[in-house]
Amino acid sequence: MTNDPVEHVRADPVQEVTAWLQEHWDPDLTVGEWWERLGKAGWSAPTLPTEWYGRGLSTADSARVHRAIRDFGALGPPGGLGLLLAAPTIVAHGTDEQKRRYIEDIVCGREGWCQLFSEPAAGSDLAGLQTRAVRDGAEWVINGQKVWTSNAQIADRGMLLARTNPDVPKHRGLTYFLLDMHQPGVDVRPLRELTGRSLFNEVFLTDVRVRDDDILGGLDAGWAVANTTLAFERTGTGAGADGTANSSAAPGTIAGHLTQRAGDFVRGRQERMSLTVRPELYIEAARRHAKVDDPLTRQHLVALYIENEVGRYLTLRLRALRASGSDIPGAPNIAKLRMSELFRLGREVGLGILGARGMLHDYRGHDRSNVNPDRAVLEIALWSPAPSIYGGSDQIQRNILAERVLGLPREPGDERSTPFRDLRKNV
Ligand SMILES: Cc1cc2nc3c(=O)[nH]c(=O)nc-3n(C[C@H](O)[C@H](O)[C@H](O)COP(=O)(O)OP(=O)(O)OC[C@H]3O[C@@H](n4cnc5c(N)ncnc54)[C@H](O)[C@@H]3O)c2cc1C
């Protein structure tokens, strides 16, 4: 304990990271070398505690740090679900041994992660999932099928939710495993989307093995752990989120980016950031297509601006409240609903501006910027159904708000008391 007041004044993290970047950013490093520096210095995931490669910053300050890295012109932290979901979930529920085993590899981008939750008959009803885990000595044997698994094709590890006990009600017999994707029996099959890309996959698991000490948060206690992951997902992808997961370089051993030059990904990152519904994007398109004088287009542009600002203010308010130890019940759910609305509005406004040109799309490459200057507007229109589905659909967000925030009665049924094996199944 000291009486020196200076010790209690925390340096501004933006100034700190900028000074650090001046000393350490080098575009000629490989992506892997750069992420080692960034991760070990605590700038990849600044919200993590200092003892686990973070800086203990608030989400507001972390977003400012990530913006500062981008504005500096350096490559941002590893994108993807490792940093967004796995690391904070492991910090919240993991043993020290698990934190030692996984966190450093995530913040340094050495391993990519995917989220093996949804199944063909268990999306909204996630607790109804049927992938089975059966104990075999010090290991578990997993059999089942997952679907919509984003980036599974480049994942080294998976956050896997599986049923360990079918004799208790469905929420109480689930366990959260940390799965090694590099093993026989893990069959990843990409699915082609409306956008022309294959972001997500089907994943078939046949006699796949997980060690007992790769259970996160305890046997049959997976539902609480999964809810932690889902809360980080809603906060990280709702309106006003800072888009950390949008880095153009992908982490892990499979994507092949770690050995490439870091500076080559900086421009690419800005390209990917255009998948946010920014009003300027639509104003530029309206000018390009001589629609800025059109009264309807002008109304739509203002509506888009307002929706964007409301989402941004909600997030800023939530961050400020959380920094002072308070909260807004249901705020992540509301933020996610606003994001769905923003994307729908972006689609309507964008396609209204483009008119018949909105039907022209080039599906060949990843970077379509030279093919069609309206690329970003089209991408958002084609991507617009996704935010209202992933991380829990709009209807499920409203159910959560109704039941957990407003205290309205739960949906009828005896699912909470009936053993899973006696419930009627979707398939
Ligand atoms: C882009 C994208 C990426 C994704 N990435 C992943 C991933 O990485 N990992 C992963 O595990 N999953 C992922 N998902 C899956 C996602 O979580 C599920 O699609 C979502 O939970 C909905 O489940 P479902 O598709 O099975 O729809 P269903 O659950 O079958 O729902 C169909 C419709 O019924 C409605 N509905 C269902 N139940 C209720 C209810 N009780 N009350 C009111 N309405 C209801 C839903 O709102 C929806 O409109 C991703 C999805 C998308 C679109």
Over range 255-276, report the average pLDDT. 76
Domain ranges within the chain, ordered by starting residue = 5-107, 113-237, 274-392
- Nearest-CA residue for ligand 1 atom 27 is 123
- Nearest-CA residue for ligand 1 atom 13 is 148
Question: Identity (one letter) of the amino acid at 105?
Answer: D
Q: Thinking of the domain 5-107, which architecture would CATH place it in?
A: Orthogonal Bundle (1.10)
Q: Which of 84, 118, 230 to mutate to test the pocket of ligand 1 (most atoms within 8 A of CB)?
A: 118
Pocket of ligand 1 (CB under 6 A): 114-115, 117-118, 123-124, 148-150, 200, 386, 389-390, 392-393, 395-396, 399
Q: Thinking of the domain 113-237, which architecture would CATH place it in?
A: Beta Barrel (2.40)
CATH of 274-392, one of 1.10.1740, 1.20.120, 1.10.3470, 1.20.140: 1.20.140
- Nearest-CA residue for ligand 1 atom 32 is 124
Tell whether the model's pLDDT for residue 279 goes beyond 80: yes
Q: pLDDT tens digits, residue range 53-101?
A: 999 998 888 989 999 999 999 999 998 999 999 999 999 999 999 999 9
> What's this model's pTM, rounded to 2 decimal places?
0.90
Positions of E strands within 48-171: 113-116, 132-136, 139-146, 157-163
CA of 332 to the centre of ligand 1 (A): 17
- Nearest-CA residue for ligand 1 atom 21 is 123
Active-site residue list: 233
Over range 314-325, report the average pLDDT. 83
Can you tell me which atom of ligand 1 is nearest the CA of 150?
8
CA of 129 to the centre of ligand 1 (A): 13
Question: Identity (one letter) of the amino acid at 149?
Answer: T
Question: Identity (one letter) of the amino acid at 375?
Answer: R
Can you tell me which atom of ligand 1 is nearest the CA of 120?
26
- Nearest-CA residue for ligand 1 atom 40 is 396
Strand partners, 190: 201
- pLDDT score for 427: 67
327 exposure class (CB count in 10 Å sphere: 0-12, 13-18, 19+) = exposed
- pLDDT score for 362: 64
Tell whether the model's pLDDT for residue 368 goes beyond 80: no
CB 125 within 8 A of CB 426: yes
Please report which confidence band the pLDDT of residue 270 belongs to, taking 50, 70 and 90 as the band edges.
very low
| Nearest CA among 369, 179, 360, 191 for reference residue 268 | 369
Q: pLDDT tens digits, residue range 105-148?
A: 999 999 999 999 999 999 999 999 999 999 999 999 999 999 99
| Nearest CA among 139, 140, 141, 119 for reference residue 130 | 119
- Specify the DSSP class assigned to residue 86: I
CA of 383 to the centre of ligand 1 (A): 15
Q: How high is the mean pLDDT of the chain?
A: 89
Can you tell me which atom of ligand 1 is nearest the CA of 119?
26
CA of 122 to the centre of ligand 1 (A): 8
Q: For residue 17, what are its two tokens?
A: 């990271």
- Alpha-carbon distance of 275 to 377, in angstroms, equals 8
Can you tell me which atom of ligand 1 is nearest the CA of 125?
29
